[in-house]
Structure 1
C-alpha cells in the first residue's frame, strides 16, 4: 500500500468546529453591541483623554479587537478579547495571562518592538462580562506579509511569497527578523512551561504548564478531553516530546471522523506510534535538561507590522501560546520563509516543490543571520553553537520536520509518511504489543455510524445547500 496516495490531510470534526463557530458568532454579536461601553471602559483604564469613537474592528483567528480613538494627541488604543469558541473556554484566561507575561518579558529582555500594554484583566473585570481583555496602544504599519506576498485577486487563495520580490526588500526584512530570533535564542529558562512572574521577588520563571497552539486546536476541533492535557511544566525535553506523542495518540482515539477507511486508520495508527519511537532519535540529548528558550508558534510576517516606506518593523504582534520550549524549536530555520504553512505542501504531496522553493530562501535568511552574528564580536560561543549553524543542521538532519510534526497533531501523519519515513515496512518497526493491538484499534476508528447520523441531523442536505 502506498501511504503517499492516501487522504491523510487535516480533517476537523465538523460538529466540534460548527459548535465553536456558533459560540464565536453569538459572542461577537454581544461584543459588537457593547462598543459604547467598551470605549468608555478603555478611556477609564487608559487614564487620560475622553474616547471619541470606535474606529473599527481587528478580527483575527483567535481574537477580536476594537480600535478606539481619543480626544488627546495620544495614539489610538485597542481592547482585544480572545474569542470563545475559537479559543477553548477552558483556556480563555490562561491564554491571555500567558500572552501578557510573554509581552512584558520580551519588552524587558529584548529590543523586539511589542505594543505597550496599558491594562489587562479577567472576565469579571470586563464590561458586560465579555471576557478577559488586553488594552494596548494601536501601532501604525502595514502587515509584512502584504508586502512580501505574491499579488492575487482571490482572497481565498493561499498566501505565497512573491517570487519577483526585490532581493533588497527580503534582505532587509530577514535581517531584522534574524536579529529578533537571535535575541530570543539567548534567553534561558529552567523548565518547559508558560513564562510567568514569581510572587515575591518578581523574577521570571516557567514553572506553569505550557499552553500550546496544538492544545487549543485539539480542544476546539477534535473533541479532545481537556483533562488529559499536561498540568505542570517539564524538566526535560524528552518528557515533553513523549507527552506530545501521547497527545497525538489520544487525538487518534478521540476524534470520531479522523479515519474514513481502514487504510487511513492503519496509516494514522502506524505514523503516530512511529512518532513516539522517533522521539529518542530526534530529541537532542545535548539540550534535554535545558536551558529552554522562549518560542512563539505564531512569530511570522502575518503578525509583524512594518513602515511601508522604510521597511522597518514597527511591531511584532500576537505572542499567544508563547512558552519556554525545547531549545531545538528555536534552532529550526523559520518555517514561514515561503509565508505558506509547510503542512499545506505536505498535504498535497508536494514536499519536493516545497524544498526547491524553500532552500534558496533559507540560505538567504541564514546569510542575514550570519551577518547579525558577525556584528557581535563579544560573542564567545563556538562555531558549532552559532544559531545559523544549528538551523542549517536542523534542516539537513530532518529535525525541522520532526519538530513541526510535534506542534501539529493534524499534520503528523502526512509528515511521517511523506518526509520522515525512510522506506520499508513501518509496521514491522512497531513494538510487538503495538502491532498486536492495531487491528482492534483500526476497527474502532472506522465505526463512524454514530458520527455520520449526528452529522445528518445537524447538517441536512437542504441546510448545506442553503449555506452554499
Structure 2
C-alpha cells in the first residue's frame, strides 16, 4: 500500500522548516557548541536510543559510540557522542551505479564473507541478553535495567511520518507475551489502512481485499507466536544494516555500530533478518536473496562455532538453525510482513495467504474465514474508506513545532 502523498508533502514541508531553523542557528558552530556543553560530562537520563546504547556498551562486545550528552536545541532533540573511525560497510557491498541498494556484481566471495561475519557477530551479541518483557529499555531509580514501555519500531515511525497516523493510537505499555505483541503489530496494519486518508485504496474491490488480508493475517499472528510465547525476549534492532556498521580497510573489521533508535527487547523470531536491504520486486528479491541467505547462514555457523569454543554462547543459543527453518515454515515472511507496512499486501498475497489458508479461489471464500464480528464490520469499513477517498483531505494531527518535539 502506498504512503499518503499529502502526508509526504507535509513531511517535506516540515523538513524544509527544520533546515531553515538549522541555517538560522549557525550550523558550522552548532556541533562544537553542543559538544562543549557536555564534554567530559556524564550522560543524562535519556530516551530510548541513548539508553540502549549504554546497555549495549555494558553488556555486549559490540563497539558503540560513547554518549556525551543529550538535550533540546533550536532545531530539535540532539545526541552528542564520540567519533568512531571507519567507513560504512555498505560502501564495500553496494553497487554505486544503482540508485537503490543492490549488491555489487564484482564483489568477491571472501569480501562478502568478511562483511557477513561482522554482521553475524553483531546479531549474535544482540541475542545474548534476555528480558522478561517486550519493549524499550531504561534504568530505574535503583540503577537497574528494565523494560518500561512499548517499543518504538521503524514501521511506527514510517506510519506516523508518511501515512499521517497519530502516535496516540499505538500501545504504550510493554508486552508480557509474544502473542500479545504480534497481534499488536498486526493491528498496526489496520491502523495503516483505516487511518491513512489518501492513496490507501484504489477502489472498493481493493479495499475489500486489503481488509480481508489484515483480518486473516491478524488471525495468523495469534497462532504463530505460541512457541516460547512468554520469552525470554532478546534485543533486536529494526534498522541494523550495512549503512550503520562502520568497518576499517582493508580487513573490513567492525569498528563501530551507530543509529540504535529502533532497538528493543523483542521475540526471538524477529532476529530472523536478511543480510541486506531487499528489493521492491519480490520475485527479484527471492532470486537475489536466496544465494546470499545460504552464504550468510554458512558464515553465521562459523561465527557461532567460534563463540561456542570461546564460551561466549552455548550451543542452544545458535540462531542459524531457526533462521534456516524460518524459510521452510513461512515464519520469515510473517515477520517481514509484521514489520513492513508499505509492502504488507504484496508480502501477504505472494508468500503467506496460500501457504496457510490453501489455494486461493475467490475473495468471497476468503471472506468466509473471517470472524462474525469482522464480517459485520466489513461493509461499514469499506463505506468509510470510500468516503475518505472521495474527500481527499489530510488530518493535521500535530503542528510543525510539535513534530520537532516528538
Find out whether 1:414 has 2:346 as its counterpart. yes
Shift of 1:380: 8.0
**Are the aligned partners of 2:135 and 2:174 in contact in 1 as well (CA < 8 Å)?**
yes
**Larger mean Cα displacement after TM superposition, 168-177 or 431-440:** 431-440
TM-score by length of 2: 0.87
RCO higher in structure (CA 8 A, sep ≥6): 2
Please give the secondary structure, in 2, of the residue aligned with 1:118. Answer: strand
Distance 1:109-1:450 versus aligned 2 partners, 3 A rule: same
Partner of 1:141: 86
Residue 212 of structure 1 contacts residue 321 of structure 1 at CA under 8 Å; is this kept in 2? Answer: yes
Task: Confirm or deny: 8 A CA contact 1:237 1:290 kept in the other structure.
Answer: yes
Partner of residue 63, structure 2: 113
Q: Which residue of 2 aligns with 1:272?
A: 214
Aligned to 2:229: 288
In 2: Cα distance, 1:409 partner to 1:319 partner: 20
Alignment of 1:312-391 (within 5 A): 312-330=253-271, 332=272, 334-335=273-274, 337=275, 339-342=276-279, 344-346=280-282, 350=283, 353-375=284-306, 376-377=308-309, 378=311, 381=314, 386-391=318-323
- CA–CA separation in structure 1 for the residues paired with 2:79 and 2:393: 41
Q: Is the alpha carbon distance of 1:299 and 1:41 closer, same or farther for their aligned partners in structure 2, counting shifts above 3 Å?
A: closer
Partners in 1 of 2:277 and 2:236 — Cα distance? Answer: 19
8 Å contact kept, 1:158–1:340: no
Alignment length, in residue pairs? 379
TM-score by length of 1: 0.76
CA contact (8 A) 1:192 1:325 kept: yes
Shift of 1:421: 1.0
Unaligned stretches of 5+ in structure 1?
A: 1-9, 49-93, 455-468
Cα separation, 1, equivalents of 2:21 and 2:228: 47
TM-superposed deviation, 1:303: 1.1
Alpha-carbon separation, structure 1, partners of 2:195 and 2:313: 49
| Correspondences of 1:48-447 after superposition (within 5 Å) | 97-121=47-71, 123=72, 126=73, 129-152=74-97, 157-200=99-142, 202-257=143-198, 258-283=200-225, 285-330=226-271, 332=272, 334-335=273-274, 337=275, 339-342=276-279, 344-346=280-282, 350=283, 353-375=284-306, 376-377=308-309, 378=311, 381=314, 386-422=318-354, 423-424=359-360, 425-447=365-387
SS at match of 2:47: helix
CA distance in 2, matches of 1:320, 1:382: 30
